[in-house]
Each structure stands twice: as structure tokens, then as C-alpha cells.
A and B are shown apart, each in its own frame.
Chain A
Amino acid sequence: MTTPAHEDTHVDHTDVPEHGVYVPPSGWHRWTYPGWLRVIWATPLFGALGLGLVVLLRWAASWDPIWKWSSIATVELTAVPLGFLVGLGGFDYWARYCSGKPTLPEDHSRHGARSWRDYFRINTDHKVIGVQYVVTTMTFFVIGGFLALLFRAELAHPGDQYFNPQTFNALVTDHASLMIFLVIIPAFAGLGNFVIPLMIGAADMAFPRLNALSYWLLPIAGIMLLVGLAIPGGGPSAGWTCYAPLCQHQPLGDVFFNMAVQWAGASSIMTALNFLVTIITMRAPGMTFWRMPLLVWANFTTSMLVVLATPFIAGSQFFVMFDRVMHTNFFEAGNGGYVIGYQHIFWFYSHPAVYIMILPGFGIISEVVAVMSRKPIFGYRLMALSLLAILVLGFSVWAHHMFVAGMAGWLRVPIMVTTLLIAVPTGIKVFSWLATLWEGRIHFTTSMLFAVGFIFCFVIGGLSGIWLGAVPIDIQANQSYYIVAHIHYVLFGGSVFTIFAGIYYWYPKMTGRMYNERLGQLHFWLTFIGFNLTFFPMHYIGLQGMPRRVADYANRFGGINEFISIASFGLGASTLIFLYNMIWSWAHGPAAPNNPWRGLGIEWQVSSPPPIFNFEEVPQVVGSPYEYGVPGARHVIFGAPQPEPVPAD
């Protein structure tokens, strides 16, 4: 039966009255056709409309001043990106649908990449979108890392060298915001986008047009954060947490943070919703929930977290926006507002967000460890169930970020208990990986090195996390470099290492070429050593009392900070090897075989790169995805007699 959501995958539309006929553009029509030519005029048009709306409204209501920049910036940061998306064609299909016109039939000309140009437009192919995501996030990874090197240069010596404190804070804020909202969260969305439809045997995601749109929100958010740095008066500088009411008294640049988070959040909610619907409704026959690869499980739970928690950060940013633009008093104590209300709402998202930033990484590590150890993953069901346990517990630990914020005293101990409890499912995963490695035939490819490096760093970060979860220690270590060390051990040594593992692991599948193994291993060792030299000493200076987010510090921390800065430059330089390896191999690397790692997953049974529609026919799943070393074990067979398709309605 034909349903509107699946028109992409149906061939014959001639009998449906809703569909028109596709005519390719020519002559001046190219300016009205979705694409960069239309972006050129639609973006300024929407910008002018937004500006006109605010100024006319303020003039008509005789509000003073008419040119109030915080209001103008808020509206413009909605209007200009909207104009860009309209120009690029993000809403074309829905606009035609809503206005009652016949929708254009999907002739698949906008699907898949035939040249590099196809990566720079709205493309409905999940594999193209996956590559778009990964390349975008790696670009912002380099930019965000560069910002970190800038303030590490400032921190090499006590006193003010290169930046004033306001600029220093803006650099710290932008570094954190870019790394969290533009690198780690979307990098997992990108890898998931590429492999999940392949892994579950689907031709694409459930909503390909929504998928394309949600990618294009991402560069908007990133550019917004970067432009914020250059705004007169200073960039966003209240930290990535952007606590109210502090951030409401910041310069104009803070509006850019405010709006960028909204765009990035919208993007990740749309992607997560797409993942959930895809995993629920599009699995191949025989792919029961207990036969799903753990990466699919991980993205399923992560997407639940995103869909349910991200609205809270949207809410918190809305309140800040209302306080700024409409002079409401959500958090101003003098007028009945609740000052730490922002922190509660913010962390009710942002604590689940740390699981959003690590659960897909857990999934990647499970794939890599099982394949490279040539053994079935240890405790498959418990691995999946522990993800669900983290999902549930993740909502109950937010206030451990606020032990010293002045929140209700009775809340401390219950939150401490749940915080320590959530280490249990995480521990189950770590021990399962170790048990998988046990007596395996381990192949130390680059992805495996990153996986083992991840386990090493993540255990250190996890242990300091348990430590910080205890109220008395948290009171001592709060706002110190100990926190910085902890967060980098779980987010850099944790999440970023898993992203590297994932990129190296699926690189042959994504590009159809092999990367240089020797350069990959060099990259791992330099990153691993540089990372530990940079962040391990921060535990020490943190406990000695050096506060974070401050441009200047006591002279006694001088020597060790110089050491950290030098190590951080080495860490930064190691990324150049990664970039060189990835870019050079993409153009000149040897052609990749279909299954270089001898994996059982469905994604390894198709060509590298996969065909535009993934499969000629729907694959039939017959067993577990992890039966490595089991003679005759099959995960999937092609060309099996097809069962009757389940009707959609």
C-alpha cells in the first residue's frame, strides 16, 4: 500500500493524483530551482524581512531604541538561516504539499552522490548525509581544537599574554560549545547515518528529506558560534553551560550562542527521531531486536535520550531569550524568579547529554572489539540492557553538577546515590569488552588501537567521575582543573577516541579506499601520548587548587602549565597526520575490498562504497551479528525466498 512517507521508495506514481511531473530547470529557472543560486537571493531577502519586521514593529510601538541589537540579532539568527534553507531547497517538497500543489515525484535524481558536487546540496541519500556529517564535524573538530591551542598558549605562563580575560572566556566557551554541539554529538549522528540503515538491511532512513534538512541545520549552528566570536563587544563568554542570569548580562555575542544551540538542538532531535522510526519500522526480515548489532542498540537508546532530553535545553535557551528580548523574569531573583532554575533545567538535558555523547561510542567499540578479537561479544544481552539502564538512570543524576550551587540540601544524597549507581551498567560494558578481548585472536588495526586506548582512558575518566560523584570530594574539586581533566578523559579519551575508531573502521566502506595503516597507527600513538601528557597533570593541579575558566593563575602553577601547553601543541599536531591520511587516501588510497575486516554485519556484505540503494533485494537475517569464530555461523543471507512483506498500516 502506498503511504506518503515512502514515496521515495516507490517507482510508479502515475495513478496517484497528488503527484505532478518532474521538469528539469533551464535558463533563468535555475535561479528559482533549489540550489546555491537561489541561496544567493533568498538569504538576504529573509535577512531584510527579519530586520524590517523588528525595526518596523519597534517603530510602530514607539519603543526605544528602535535599533535594539539583541532583539534584531535574535530574529536575524532565525531569519537568515531560514532563508538559506529555503534557498537550498530544504522545504520545497513540504511547501508544495502544504499549498495543495502536486508534489514532485521522486525520480531519485537527488539521491546518491555521482560527483563531489552532490555533497554540497540537499541530498536524500543516508550515505551522502553520513559523509556530510562526518566531514563537517571533523572540520569543526580542527577549528575547535585550534581555539583550544590559542588559550593554551595564553595559559603557558601566568599573567596576561595574548588575550584579555573576556576574549579568553569567549575562546573557552566556543571551544567547548563547538566540541560538544558540533563535533561529538553530530559525529555519532553521521557515523550512525551511514551505517545504521545498512546494518538493519534498509534502503535508507525512514524520512530521507527530514534527514537531509537536519544535516543542513548543523553548519548553520557552527558558523553562528564562530561568527559570535567576532561580534563587537566580545563573543559568547559565559561558558558552554551559559548559566542564567550571568549570560543575560553578557555582550551581544551571547545571543549567537543562544541561537546556535537552538539550531544544533533542532538538528539532533530531528535526526534522533529519524533513527528511532528507522530502527522500529525498517528492519530487514529476521532482524529481531535481539539480533540487532550493538551500535544499532546504542543509537536506539541515544535517540530516546535526545528526543526526550533535548527539549529541556531548548526550553532553557528560550527562557534566556525571553529574559533578554521580552524582559521576562524567569531567573531574576528580584522579581520572583528562581535563580538556579536555569541550572536545573539545563542539566536535566545536559547530563543525559553526556550519555548522548558516549553511548554511540560504546556501540562503535562493541563492533570493533568483537570483529578485531574474532570472538562473539561477551554478554550481548547484558550489553544491550545496560544501555537501557543508562537511559533510565541518566535522567536521575542531573543535580550532581550543582552540589555547590545552593540547591535544596536534601537533594544531594539521593543524587549522589544514583550517580554512583550509574557506574554499574557502565562497568558491565567495560568488563564485557575486556572479556571479549580475553583469549581472542586480536588484530591491532588502527581502529582496534583506538578502541583499546578508549577503554584505558575511559576507565580513568570513569573513576574520577565516581570520585566527583561523592558530595564531599565534589565540594573540594568543584570548578578546578580536576573537572577539566575528568571531562577530557571521558569526552576526548572517551568519545573522540571512539569517533576515530569508527572513522578508521568504516573508512573503507564510506570512501571505497583503504587508509594508510602505518600513518593511522602513528596518529593513534601520538594522540594517545599527547592526550595523556596534556590532561593527566590537570588532575594534579586541579587538586592543588587551580581554578578553571580563568586566564591568569598563581605563579606556582607556572612550570606544569607550560608542560601542559607544550603537550597540547603536540596533541594538536597529531591531528595533522589524521587529516593528511584521510584526505590523501580518499583520493589516492588503494581500492578497498568489500569486507576488509572480515565482519559479519550486513554493511560488510555489500560493495565498498555501497550501491546507491544499498541492496538489490531485501536481505534476510538468520542469526546473531557477533558469531565470530563459530563455524558455519551466518548473520545474513541474500537471495533467500522472501517472506510476505508486512503491510504498513
Chain B
Amino acid sequence: MGYDYPPPIHFSSRISPVIVGIFLFIGSEIMLFGSFFTVYFFDRVVNHTHPWPPPPYERPVFVAGVNTLILVTSSFTMHWATQSIKRGNRAGLQAGMVLTFLLGLTFLLTQVIEYHRIGFNTSDTSFAATFFGLTGLHGCHVFVGLTILLAMTIRSFRGHFSPEHHHGIEVGGIYWHFVDVMWIIVYTTVYLL
């Protein structure tokens, strides 16, 4: 009874399990954001809070807009890094990873400074609750994304990943693109509408 090694693995799908897994995980994440959007909708629309934001609070639309551009740019550098390793271009991978990480870090630090100077606190009405809720939840995702990017960057400098063996980059990249797209939705909802 019992063999020393498992039988050769058989895959019933053409997509690799890690890729299926990260997409399902993102589905779950979208629902988590969904619950935060739901409570935002309740507090703003169902409760007829008008005007929004309730005076005297104001939202820093311009600074956050510039920050949005920074995060969108990081998605392009991430894509560049992924394409580079697929073509075997290690310098491109390393440069792309470093740029993406720095842009993400800039975004997060800008958001911290924005929180500091915004003029209201978490306890100021449900407007502040939903504002900090949605942007804070997204900020946590940026933090997690940065942690993943850091690990990918370190490994890319240690000579890991190759044109045939780059799921680590691909999965992290998909997550980072998700964080980016989700920010566009959060920015539109929380700052612009």
C-alpha cells in the first residue's frame, strides 16, 4: 500500500490551475468590494443623503485624479514586465518590476498624505465611513499588491523566472491589474459621482 510518488498529473483544462485560481479569487474580491459599494449605496441613495458629500466636507478630486493616472501607468509597466520575460528579456522584466513597484508605492504614499490633510475623520457621518471604507479597502489591496510586487521584483533580480516558467509574474500581474481597474471604479464612484 502506498507509492513513493504520485502518478503523472493529468490536466482537464488548457488553462493552468494557478490562473483559474487567481481569477476565482478576484471574483471573490469583487464581491467583497461589492459589499462596500452596497453600504455606500444604502448610506447615500437609499437614505437620501443630499447634497453628497454633506457640507462642509469636500473631496480632493484633483489630487486623487493625478494619483489615478499614476496607478494606471503602473498597469502598463506591469504589462511590459510580463511581456519582457515571455520574450526572455530579463532587463526589461527587472526595469518593469521596479517601475511598477515605485509607481504603486507613490500611489499609496499619496493616499496616506491625502488622508492626513482631508479635513474629516472616520467618525464624521456615514459619508466619511463610506469614503474611508472604500478607499481604505482599496488601499489595503494596494498594500497587498505591493507586497506581491516586491517578492516578484526580488525574484526577478535573483535570476528566477524564464520564458517557459513565469507564472509567478503572470499571477501577480493579473492581481495588480485588478487592483488598478478596481481603483478606476472606486475613484469614479467615490470622487466623481
Taking beta carbons and an 8 Å cutoff, which residues of A are in contact with B? 1-6, 8-9, 11, 16-18, 97-100, 108, 112, 201-204, 206-207, 269, 273, 276-278, 280-285, 287, 307-312, 314-316, 318-319, 322-323, 326-330, 332, 335-338, 341, 344-345, 348, 607, 611-618, 645-649
Contacts and interface: CB of A to CB of B under 8 A. Distances in A.
| A319, A329, A617: residue with the most chain B Cβ atoms closer than 10 Å | A329
A277 B21 contact: yes
Contact of B35 (A99, A307, A311, A335): A311
Interface stretch (B8-16, B64-72, B94-102): B8-16
Contact of A309 (B5, B31, B164): B31
B168 A4 contact: yes
Contacts of B11: 281-282, 645-648
Contacts of A647: 11, 14
A338 B42 contact: yes
A49 B147 CA distance: 20
A16 B161 CA distance: 10
B10 to A, nearest CB: 5
Nearest to B20: A277
A11 B5 CA distance: 7
Mostly, the A contact residues are loop
Contacts of A100: 151, 154-155, 157-158, 160
Contacts of A278: 17
Given A282-B12, A647-B11, A649-B15, 18 more contacts: A4-B168, A5-B17, A203-B6, A204-B6, A207-B21, A280-B20, A311-B28, A312-B32, A322-B129, A328-B128, A329-B125, A330-B39, A330-B130, A348-B38, A607-B1, A612-B2, A613-B3, A618-B10
Contacts of B1: 607, 611
Contacts, number: 222
B16 A649 contact: yes
A4 B151 contact: no
Contacts of A323: 129
A108 B123 contact: no
Contacts of B32: 311-312, 314-315
Interface in B1-58: 1-18, 20-21, 24-25, 27-29, 31-32, 34-36, 38-39, 42-43, 46-47, 49, 54
Interface string B118-144: 000011011111101100010000000
A341 B154 contact: no
Nearest to A204: B6
A344 B27 CA distance: 20
B12 A269 contact: no
A574 to B, nearest CB: 35
A18 B158 CA distance: 9
B165 interface: yes
A16 B166 CA distance: 12
15 contacts: A5-B18, A5-B167, A16-B165, A97-B151, A99-B151, A99-B154, A203-B6, A283-B12, A285-B10, A311-B34, A328-B126, A335-B126, A338-B39, A611-B1, A613-B6
A322 B38 contact: no
| A5, A201, A284, A322: residue with the most chain B Cβ atoms closer than 10 Å | A5
Contacts of B122: 322, 326-328
Contacts of A5: 16-18, 21, 167
A329 B25 CA distance: 29
| B5, B13, B126: residue with the most chain A Cβ atoms closer than 10 Å | B126
Nearest to A289: B12
Contact of A282 (B4, B17, B27): B17
A611 B10 contact: no
A323 B4 CA distance: 53
Given A273-B24, A315-B35, A337-B43, A4 B167 contact: yes
A612 B3 contact: yes
Contacts of A615: 7
